[in-house]
Amino acid sequence: MLTLPEIATRAAQAYVYVPFTVRMNQMQQPAGEGFPQIFAHIAKHGLTPVGPAFYNYRRIDMSDTLDVEAGIAVAAAGPEEGNVRNGTLPEGRFVSLTWTGHPDKLMTVTGMLIGWLKESDTALDVAEKADGDHFACRLELYESDPAEVPDMNEWVTTLAFKLRD
């Protein structure tokens, strides 16, 4: 199930993350390594999560590598430690939609959202460079906890992409 795209203004938000540079076929690496580090960091420092785990795609070159952050929004940032960094998700207008279904369909869902943006003449906050597209903020928010929703066909994922001001 897929919702229609919506445009809304989001406030700036503190987050903690682990950065990765990976090839598309290595996308399990951030989840397998990044999220456990973040959860441990949050617990160790008593941080308060205020949203679901997410990937933030900072740079995408589909023929080569992607710069990705495995992250979680928090009420306030704590110390940086090891691979865990602090950041601020930007404020501004975002387009979002929600997908209920297997994560292996997210590439198709993302393509549909990008098609909608082109058809509606709505521009993303992105810089096209020689090494790929650099995004101000391109989130894939994982609304479902795999421990609570073991059937991946029932997982809920929200895409939220920052629009050009």
| In the chain, domain spans | 6-162
Q: What is the pLDDT of residue 30?
A: 63
Q: What is the pLDDT of residue 31?
A: 63
- Report pLDDT digits (tens) over 66-121: 999 999 999 999 999 999 999 999 999 999 999 999 999 999 999 999 999 999 99
> What proportion of the chain, given as a percentage, has pLDDT over 90?
86
- Cβ-contact 104, 28 below 8 angstroms: no
Q: What φ, ψ does residue 55 adopt, rounded to 5°?
A: -105, 140
Q: Give the whole-angstrom CA distance, residue 134 versus residue 128.
A: 6
Name the band, by pLDDT with cuts 50, 70 and 90, for residue 48: very high
Q: How many residues does the chain have?
A: 165
Q: What CATH number is given for 6-162 in this structure?
A: 3.20.80.10
pTM reported for the whole predicted model: 0.94
> What proportion of the chain, given as a percentage, has pLDDT over 70?
97
Q: Give the whole-angstrom CA distance, residue 95 versus residue 123.
A: 10
Element (H, E) at 13: strand 13-22
